[in-house]
Amino acid sequence: MQITGLSIQNYGVCKNQSFEDIQSPMLVVFGPNEAGKTTTMQFIRGLFFGLNSPERRSYTTGTGGKYGGSLKAVDSEGNQWNITRMMDAEEDTSIVINGQIFPASALGRDLLSGIDPELFEHVFTVGLSELQHLNQLNATDAADFLYEMTSGFDRKSVGNTLRHITNQREQILSDCGSGKLQALHGQLNSILKQLDDRKAEMQPWVANSNEIEIVNQQINDLQAKLEERQTLLNDLGIYGSLKTKLLERGRLRAVLAQSQPPKIHRRHTRIDERLPLLDLAIRGHETLSSIDDRESELLILEEELRAINSMLLPPDVAPRINAFAEMLPWISSLLSEVEQLAAEPLNASDRQGIPDIQTGIESSTNINKKLLLTLRQPARKLKETRKRLKENERVCTELQQSIAQAETAWINSPAWRSLSITPSLEHPSMELRQKLTTLIGDRKQLATVVKSTQQAASQSPVHLDTPAPLESPASLLLNATLICVGGTLLGMGLFFPDSFGLSNMAIVVCILTGLLSVTGGVYGTIVQSRKRSHAVYRNRRREELTRLRQQIERKADESAVSDPESTCTVPNSEELERAIAETESLLDMAHELERLRLNLKVTQRQNREEINRHQDALSEWQVSLRKQGLPEELSPIDLHALVENVDRIAEQRRVNSNRAADLQRKQRELRELDLRMTALLDDAGMPSSHLTVSSRAEHIAQAARNQKELQRESLKVESQISATANTITELAIESDNCTRKLSRIYATLGVSSLWEYAELTDRLDEYEVNRDQLSELEHSINASLSHHSITLTDLEAFEGLNSEGVHERSCLLQDEIESINSDLRHAFELRGQLRAKSTQMTSDRDINQLRLQKRNLELRIQAFEEHWQIWTLTEHLFGGVRDHFESQRQPETLRNASLWLDTITEGDYCRIWTPLGEDLLYVDDAQGQPWAIDSLSRGTRESIYLSLRFALVRSYHEEGISLPLILDDVLVNCDLSRAKNAIKAIHQFSNEVGQVLFFTCHDHIAELFSQIGADVRPIIKPDTVTAPSIPRISFDAVSAHQSVSSDTSAPVPFTSPSEKEQPSLDKLHSALSETDELIATLAADGYGEEIEILVVPEDEEVEEEIVDELLDVADENEADEYEDWEDEQTDDEIAA
């Protein structure tokens, strides 16, 4: 954006002040103190963000009237902006872009690109105070450009991470030896010492515990032995009760052991093994049968494959066939082009109405306007005759329509219903006159004329040869076209105006035209429908009249045959009068119809004469054309078009010539392709001498398709052959497997066939019977033993004992049980004595707890050591990352600011950089030494801050935000040499980045700007200035403000405060006194920076908030005074 004009009507000290026609990219406003430079800068801020903001409210109070002005600017797209803001009771904003009014939101959205007031104030409109407070940028979006060096999603992720890593490492083990790890080692040493002490005390207790364990083991062994002897005694009793069954079981087992077959025989002769063996034999036989069937199928498929291969084309012909098949679309396109070129007439006519005159015009004929003058008389005569002929045809058409209407009205007249005659269209009045004569006679003799009336009514036949007029196809087409066009226009206007780009007027026209078209089509359809219904009614009426006439004739014939002397019923006089009146009306209509027919005949005769005259005029015109060397078929209109389009006809002839050449070339290509296709078909064995080019192409395409189909069939048959061969192989393998399995089983059983296998199974059936008996007996014994919870295996130890052996064994077991019980009693007494002795010694609970704590501490020490190693390694890695980022990955904005700083300081300071993870800036001098900004002189600091503003504005410019840079006396603390360098940098910035507006009150600075070609505009200090009314601070209960004077340090009068408020009021008076002294000191400064006095808003009524605000102002002014006199001292506020 570039400001091209500025007008201030009333704002602060500025009255009717304007800067017109600003064309230079650098504008310098030069004037003395209090001339309105800072006010102008504030006015520009107010135009963009509002005049009535709190910080600019002092400029719109005191003088009354309207405040505001206007600004003209051009944005980056060339749009002309005119911004006007006026404020009286309320603020009024007007935005005009290229002569069109836009809402106020367009200013912030389009021109300012969403820049907020705070960022605009601290980056784009900078005074000396904003320039020095770099920390104000940290709260704006500009901080993203200054401190964008990061490895995460926030601007301090690497620094915070590095500090977190160092903190975690030092918490575990610091460089000085303190930390959690050291404390854990101390706890571990204490626990180890306690464990050593407890081990010396535990030796007697351990010995006693070992003796107790030995006694417990002896008790367990004796109890197990006692339980075993009792179990044997019980089993012996049960054996005595089942002795008979157990002896029988022993006998059967002996018999089975003598006749037991080999184990392998038993496994293969079971019932569940016989069936698989039979299945294996059957499957082997079926496999052999399947192999025979598959071999037959394989022979058939091989024969089919040989037949398909014999049908395939030779290898040298098939690729050519496929190539021509791929060319078929191009060949079809070539045929279509040849047919199209051959179908187009090769003449000089075009699509704009030029006649076809390629032939018939002599080369010596001079076609010009003189030829039109020569043929003007025959052409005029031909035109007049044609006009008269058209007029006669129009009259004939009108008469035919009138006759049709008259006939329709005459036939459809309701008078025919009361008459007993049928109307005749050939002689309309003849029968009616006879009827009228008859009715008049009948009126005199009613009794004798009824029969004659009926005969008269039946004499003239009704002619129905004239067909009813049919509905015109042209009218139907016209009505349909009107409805379609109307519907299309209504759809365009009502539903799709945006798709066709219609304006509002075009939409209205489309809707109206559509309504008219639809209305016309519907009306025409209704009219045609009515005509159609009338025609149907006339045809139906004619049919009724015909039937009536036939009935009357038939009845008359019947009456004449039956009773020639009979008479009909005689009507009365009223009916006769009504019949006479109706007959007269019909007769008048018939006369009118005959008159129209006569006029039609006369008009047709005149039309034939006009046709003859037109033929004579046409013959004369053709003779004149032949004399001039022109074809006879030319009409006057064609001749006129021929004269007007001579050049176009020549061009058309050239086009036709080119078209003929193109046609010959394509026909030649087509002939060559035809010869190649003929030769290809002959090589393929397909005669094609009787075929056309398209037929040959179709034959080639069909041959290619057949070849592809045969190839697919061949591949399919080959796959079937392969599958069949694989199946045969699998069946052969399966057959071999079955044979091998059968041979192995036969060899195992010692048989050679299934018959020998059957004999072996019979011999083993007897063995199975004995085994079943043994099984049943064991089942009975197990059922008896199940009640005693023992098994048959437990009784096998007593097998073979008789009754005496059972008794002796029982006595021996009882003696052993008594001896074991005695030993158990002695062991229990010894264990009790040892346990009593162990309770007097120390328990091992404390030492187990100490061991658990020791293990826990060892695991924690191991974990902390691993963590300390990880944190130390991570700290080392992140330190390298930080060094690399700080040296290689500085933000683009700081690199650009370093270039501006190098230009302004002439290489004294060459680089501005920021540490990783910190919102701080450092400067490197020419020797590479880093300097903190707060340790530099005030002039150097301001040069750095100015360079940063240049870089920030360039960064926003590259982001698409182009706004002018406004500077207010930012070079007052620079010496002459640095001021020149800074002005050169400003000039370079205005040429490379954007417009610069510079406000100054110093002659030498204005002169330096003038020397480099800047547009310097003077501003004159007004003679009289009305100060804004500043309310004074009130200490009463009621809000009462008094003005704060800047030229006196006298205390402000106030009412007696309470003791509670006295300390705050003392601070207030002290702050006011210091503020007045600072204002006086700064007013005497040689550079004379404009001082803006803070105005306390009237809506702040809380006394404590007012006191705090004034104290803050006093602190800021005190800091500014300290910087004026001590340039080399540290200023904490700036360093922030």
Q: Dump pLDDT digits (tens) for 593-629.
A: 888 888 888 888 888 888 888 888 888 888 888 887 7
* Least confident among 410-414, 527-531, 710-714: 410-414
* Least confident among 196-210, 663-677, 1035-1049, 1061-1075: 1035-1049
Strands 67-74 and 1015-1018: unpaired
Q: Give the per-residue pLDDT at 459.
A: 40
* Least confident among 60-69, 404-413, 492-501, 737-746: 60-69
For the segment 29-63, what is each residue's pLDDT rounded down to a tens digit?
Answer: 988 888 888 888 888 888 888 877 777 777 777 66
645's tokens: 């389009």
**Residue 738 one-letter amino acid:** C
Region 571-588: mean pLDDT is: 75
* Least confident among 87-96, 899-908, 1069-1078: 1069-1078
Q: Give the per-residue pLDDT at 303.
A: 86
Residue 100 or residue 258, greater confidence: 100
d(CA 380, CA 6): 75
For the segment 327-350, what is each residue's pLDDT rounded down to a tens digit?
Answer: 777 777 777 777 777 776 544 444
3-state secondary structure of 83: strand
d(CA 373, CA 138): 93
Q: Give the per-residue pLDDT at 273.
A: 64
Q: Give the per-residue pLDDT at 1070.
A: 52
d(CA 842, CA 527): 130
Q: Give the per-residue pLDDT at 552.
A: 59
DSSP label at residue 24: S
Q: How many other CB atoms sit within 10 Å of the CB of residue 574? A: 8
d(CA 948, CA 967): 13
Q: Give the per-residue pLDDT at 70.
A: 92
Q: Give the per-residue pLDDT at 284.
A: 78
User: Would you give the end-to-end CA distance of the chain in angstroms?
Assistant: 33
Region 206-228: mean pLDDT is: 85
1136 pLDDT exceeds 60? no
Residue among 108, 646, 759 nearest 368 (CA): 646
Sheet holding 67-74, edge to edge: 14-19, 2-11, 67-74, 80-87, 91-97, 100-102
421 pLDDT exceeds 80? no
Q: Which CATH number fits domain 2-147+898-1018: 3.30.56.10, 3.40.50.300, 3.40.50.970, 3.90.1150.10?
A: 3.40.50.300
8 Å CB contact between 28 and 1016 = yes
Q: What are residue 844's phi and psi, to 5 degrees? A: -90, 10
Q: What are residue 7's phi and psi, to 5 degrees? A: -135, 125
Strands 100-102 and 125-127: unpaired
Which sign, positive or negative, has the C-alpha torsion 452, 457, 458, 460? positive
Q: Give the per-residue pLDDT at 345.
A: 55
For the segment 403-418, what is each residue's pLDDT rounded down to a tens digit?
Answer: 888 888 877 877 777 6
Q: Give the per-residue pLDDT at 672.
A: 77
Question: Domain ranges in the chain?
Answer: 2-147+898-1018, 204-260+810-837, 464-563, 1030-1136
d(CA 689, CA 700): 14
How buried is residue 598: exposed, middle or buried, by Cβ count under 10 Å (0-12/13-18/19+)?
exposed
147 pLDDT exceeds 80? no
Q: Give the per-residue pLDDT at 84.
A: 92
Q: Give the per-residue pLDDT at 1093.
A: 31
Q: Give the per-residue pLDDT at 5.
A: 92
1083 pLDDT exceeds 60? no
* Least confident among 705-714, 746-755, 946-955, 971-980: 746-755
8 Å CB contact between 470 and 621 = no
d(CA 586, CA 429): 8
For the segment 915-956, what is each residue's pLDDT rounded down to a tens digit?
Answer: 766 667 888 888 888 888 788 888 888 888 888 888 888 888
Residue among 936, 894, 886 nearest 911 (CA): 894
430 pLDDT exceeds 80? no
8 Å CB contact between 140 and 123 = yes
8 Å CB contact between 638 and 355 = yes
Q: How confident is the model at residue 840 (pLDDT cuts 50, 70, 90)?
A: low
d(CA 161, CA 153): 12
Q: How confident is the model at residue 125 (pLDDT cuts 50, 70, 90)?
A: confident
106 pLDDT exceeds 60? yes
510's tokens: 């489309």
**What average pLDDT does the structure give for the chain?**
74
Q: How confident is the model at residue 261 (pLDDT cuts 50, 70, 90)?
A: low
Q: How many other CB atoms sit within 10 Å of the CB of residue 782? A: 12
- H/E stretch holding 359 reads none
d(CA 734, CA 723): 16
Region 794-805: mean pLDDT is: 72
Q: Give the per-residue pLDDT at 138.
A: 52
- List beta partners, residue 932: 922
Q: Give the per-residue pLDDT at 585.
A: 81
Which sign, positive or negative, has the C-alpha torsion 275, 280, 284, 287? positive
* Least confident among 723-727, 858-862, 1059-1063: 1059-1063
Q: How confident is the model at residue 556 (pLDDT cuts 50, 70, 90)?
A: low
8 Å CB contact between 597 and 403 = yes
Q: Give the per-residue pLDDT at 1039.
A: 38
d(CA 302, CA 295): 11
719 pLDDT exceeds 80? yes
Q: How confident is the model at residue 131 (pLDDT cuts 50, 70, 90)?
A: low
**Residue 944 one-letter amino acid:** I
* Least confident among 452-461, 502-511, 629-638, 836-845: 452-461
Region 83-97: mean pLDDT is: 86
- List beta partners, residue 997: 27, 966
302 pLDDT exceeds 50? yes
Region 637-662: mean pLDDT is: 76
The crossing angle, in degrees rounded to 10, of helices 203-241 and 180-201 is 70
Region 545-566: mean pLDDT is: 59
Residue 548 or residue 312, greater confidence: 312
